[in-house]
Amino acid sequence: MTWFVLYRTTWGLGLRRRGLPAAADTAGINVALRRWQAVMVTGALAGLAGATLSIVRLGLFQENMSAGRGFLALAAVIFGRWKPLGIVGACFVLGGADALQLRLQAEPHVPAEVWLFIGLLGLARQRGR
């Protein structure tokens, strides 16, 4: 739905044009109003996401219930190259990796050495930078 709104409606075209305020102003778009609209829409969507997480998924509110998923969302946006369909693909990859790590932690048949090796790979990669 986001892709459709951004790429197939005049409002979305004006919103994407907002990145070049002079061009948008020349086209007759009120840049300040369009920015406020974008902030209000994204705030409403973020509120719906938070309500969905706390009410639908868990049924209660707890501290740190998002567990850093906001950073995963930011990584998905960057990984998806700021394109809606690319972001969906990145979300599937990152969400799958998150689910896999939770699943593998619960498996009793995975030897502890596997997790030690993966941790050492991550440590070696950080020191190599």
Q: Name the residue type at position 73.
A: A
Q: Is the dihedral of CA 108, 111, 114, 120 positive or negative?
A: positive
The mean per-residue pLDDT over the stretch 49-75 comes to 81
pTM over 0.75: no
The mean per-residue pLDDT over the stretch 28-33 comes to 82
The model's pLDDT over 108-124, given as tens digits with 9 standing for 90+, comes to 887 778 878 888 887 77
Output the average pLDDT for the chain: 83
* Residue 76 near residue 67, CB atoms below 8 Å: no
